[in-house]
Amino acid sequence: MDENSLKTEILICIEVKGNCKWKFEIDHFGSSKRLFEILEINSEKNIVQIPFIIGGQGKIIVTAYIVVETSIICEAFSPMKRINEIKSSVREISLIELIKNGVFKENFTINKYYNSEATITLGEEIPNEKFVMFFQGINLDKKDFFGSSDPYLIISKEKINSPENFTKWEEICRTNIIKNNINPIWDSIEFRSQEVYDYRQEIKIKIDCYDWNKKKPHEFIGSCETKLRELLIPGTKLMLYDQKDIKKSSSGYINKCSGSIQINQIKIDKIYTYLDYIRAGLNICVVLGIDFKISNGEFTNYLSLHYLSNINKNPYEKALENIVSVLEKLKKTDKYYVYGFGGIPESQDTPGVFPLNFNQDNPVINKIEGVIGKYREAVKKVIPYNQEFISQMIDGTNASTGNYSYAELYTVLTIFTDGKNNVDIIKESIERTSRSPLSIIIVGVEEIVNNTFEILNEEIQGERHNAIYIPKREIEDLKKLQEKILGKIIKQIEDFMRRVEYVPNIPTLMESYRRLRKIKKFF
């Protein structure tokens, strides 16, 4: 999964009062890795930079504690032994709740003598921008035997937690190498704002210039230090100095200037991601379609894919539970539009597409438990039919996307089937949706030999690829399932929005999540 599509960086301010000691554990599960950090807070006010990943889980565990020295007798006639005993009070807050509410404030009481207070406040969000810069070297030192140099630049940032008397640097990018030129014009370099952001707004940037050598160590030409805000001004000229090359003048010792570099051009591009579109008001509508055609079997037959048991879940129930548990991470509400197809319900005389709750005016079902409950009821009331209707399901959903602007609604159609279908017809229907705000997931609940549905992950023609096929063997692994579905759906949403050149009107992170609390029903 592309985590850059999911992740934003936020700041939190931690303030503590009282006579306790403090420990803050930031425990975060992202899409593919776990981020864990323990902070021992000593000062009254601290600012911490942490990631927030859509679809992930995260929490902050706050512990106020004291260390009490206790005397115990280990053996008879032996001196008492002193040990340290830790007494604590613990609270837990999820990252999403912090973002929704904007603040967490709690009193921590260990005993009548130790009473403290902690406040965690949501700070600003770090902007998501891409910097593209063009550097030029001017009169650089000649380091090669034949009177020239092969220069390149390394751009580094100051580490936030560097000691006061010693600055540590972390490389963020470097230029290409230009041979035999002391006045080089390098190709563009680029980096994201989140890579160099510092809440102090005064982050230091160091630029080192080296002469490339093939067989021996690269030679240092010179370096300079500046501020990020100064680096973002076109035309800025920076002098390079070699700290090791010092000469004496009448006024004292000075560093030798070994040339200069100039910022010829800078371009700042705003990178809009899935998170930006969601915060600007985009809603994700999930439509579910369940296959009832005769190849699935009768629900009373224990070999049927729709067989109902009070002990074990059938393949459709397992697939619905796992797939929907992943899709719910995309949504602001727990409402699903659920349909059946390929069978004849009691309320109809002909086969086709029908609401799973048999309510034509309101096919919405709440929560995954409700979906599975209505599915179990519908299985008993639908007569299987020997005709597939997946294409009609796709075409009908595609037509409904025209009722809303793409800034309001993006639809994810998820179809559960046994895989015994005409793939060529389905493929043509999917290709007709490539210009619509629509993604299509086909879930195979039965493993079949020579499954032609695999081509949906590769061979879809059209303006963009908006189909995903999930075979039965991938349904059980929730971690991989989440990476595949969320990663591809988010990429498809971003790709669609860029193609239609939609620029979202983005509120602040806190404003957008406060707005979510007021949403009860979108349409």
Residue 359 lies in a domain: no
In a domain, 324, yes or no: yes
Distance CA 267, CA 250 (A): 43
Q: How far apart are CA 314 and CA 298, in angstroms?
A: 12
* 98 lies in some domain: yes
Do 406 and 483 belong to one domain?
A: yes
240 and 295 inside one domain: no
Q: Which of helix, strand or coil describes residue 390?
A: helix
d(CA 209, CA 223): 6
Same domain, 121 and 143: no
Residue 43's contacts (CB-CB under 8 Å, 6 or more residues apart) are: none
CA angle, corner 412, sides to 410 and 417, nearest 5? Answer: 165
Q: Are residues 510 and 369 in the same domain?
A: yes
Look-up of token digits 């992930």 = 56
From residue 114, alpha-carbon distances to 88, 296, 506, 507, 510 in Å are 10, 66, 44, 41, 33
Q: Which residues have a Cβ under 8 Å from the Cβ of 477 and sit 6 or more positions away?
A: none
Please report whether residue 321 resides in a domain.
yes
Nearest to 220, CA basis, from 237, 247, 248, 244: 244
3-class secondary-structure state, position 296: helix
457 inside domain = no
Q: Which domain holds residue 184?
A: 129-270
Query: Among 175, 222, 226, which residue's Cα sits nearest to residue 196?
Result: 226
Rounded CA-CA distance 95/183 in Å is: 50
Cα 238 from Cα 182, distance rounded (Å):
15
Q: Which amino acid is at 110?
A: I
- Residues comprising the chain, all counted: 523
Domain CATH code at residue 282 = 3.40.50
Indicate whether 284 and 163 sit together in one domain. Answer: no
Domain boundary among 110, 125, 140: 125
Whether 39 and 186 share a structural domain: no
Residues 115 and 236 placed together within one structural domain of the fold? no
State the Cα–Cα distance between residues 288 and 443, nearest whole angstrom. Answer: 11
Predicted pLDDT at 449? 58
What's 4's DSSP letter? G
* Domain final position from 106, 125, 144: 125
Predicted pLDDT at 291? 92
Q: Which residues make Cβ contacts (< 8 Å) with residue 54, sequence separation at least 6?
A: 6, 7, 274, 275, 278, 329, 486, 490
Q: Is 134 found in the same domain as 49?
A: no
Buried b (16+ CB within 10 A) or exposed e, 354-392: bbbbbeeeebebeebebbbebbeebbeebebbeebbbbe
CATH of the domain at 244: 2.60.40.150
pLDDT, residue 523, reads 30
CA angle 471, 385, 335 (to 5 degrees): 55
Q: Is the pTM of this model over 0.85?
A: no
DSSP 220-233: EEEEEEEEHHHHTS
User: Domain ends where: 240, 270, 300?
Assistant: 270
Counts for the chain of helices (H) and strands (E), in that order: 10, 24
Q: What is the chain's Cα-based Rg?
A: 31
Q: In this structure, is residue 14 part of a structural domain?
A: yes
Burial class for 20, CB neighbours closer than 10 Å (0-12, 13-18, 19+): buried
CATH code assigned at 115: 2.60.40
Same-domain pairing of 253 and 142:
yes
Q: State the Cα–Cα distance between residues 244 and 158, nearest whole angstrom.
A: 21
Task: Provide CB contacts within 8 A for 121, sequence distance 6+.
Answer: 12, 13, 15, 102, 103, 104
Domain shared by 63 and 92, yes or no: yes
162 and 264, same domain (yes or no): yes
Residues 205 and 203: their CA atoms lie apart, in Å, by: 7
Q: Directed axis angle between helix 367-379 and helix 315-327, to 10°?
A: 150
Residue 263 lies in a domain: yes
Average pLDDT along the chain, 523 residues, taken 10 residues at a time: 50 75 68 53 63 60 75 54 70 72 77 77 69 93 86 88 70 93 93 69 83 90 87 89 61 71 89 79 91 88 89 92 88 86 84 89 92 93 85 90 85 90 82 90 80 62 78 86 86 89 74 46 33
Number of domains in the chain: 3
- The pLDDT assigned to 5 comes to 42
pLDDT in tens, 322-335: 999 888 878 767 89
pLDDT at 158: 83
What is the structure's pLDDT at 262?
A: 93
Identify the pLDDT of residue 31: 39
Q: Is residue 453 part of a domain?
A: no
Residues 225 and 326 in one domain: no
